Amino acid sequence: MLRFIIISFTVLLSTACSNLDFSSNLDKKNFDDYFKPSRVTVYEKSQLQNLDYKFIAAVDGSSCQQEEKDRPADIKEARTNARINAAEMKANGIVFQNCLTFERDASCISNIICYGRAINVKLSDEE
C-alpha cells in the first residue's frame, strides 16, 4: 500500500509540472545593456597626455529622485548613466568634467548631472 501511495504521489507530482511555462528576462539585449558601462573606461584629465585618443562628443548622465519614496539622486548612478551614453556612441573611454547637484524643481526632488567627454582611445593591442 505504501508503494502504491509513493508511486501515485510521484506520478501526480510529475504531471503537475508538465504544463509549466517558464519566462525569463535573459536575452542578449539585457546582457548587452547590463555590461555596457563596463566597456567605457574612466580616465583622468592628467592621463590624456599619455594616450592616443580621439574626441567623440560631449556626454552627460543624470540621477533624479522623482518622488519622496524613491532613493535620493546618486553621483554613482549619474556617472554610470554617462558611461552608458558614451558606450552608445561607440566610445571606449570617458573623461568627467564635473558633476552638479541641482535644487529641487518640478521634475526632481534631488538631481545630479555629470558631464564628460566621450573619447575613443587607441589601445596597444589594436592596429
Read off the pLDDT of residues 61-119 as tens digits, 9 standing for 90 and up: 999 999 999 999 999 999 999 999 999 999 999 999 999 999 999 999 999 999 999 99
Q: Quick one: pLDDT band at residue 9, thresholds 50, 70, 90? A: confident
Instruction: Provide the pLDDT for residue 127.
Output: 47
pTM, full prediction:
0.73
Q: How far is CA 29 from the centre of its chain?
A: 12
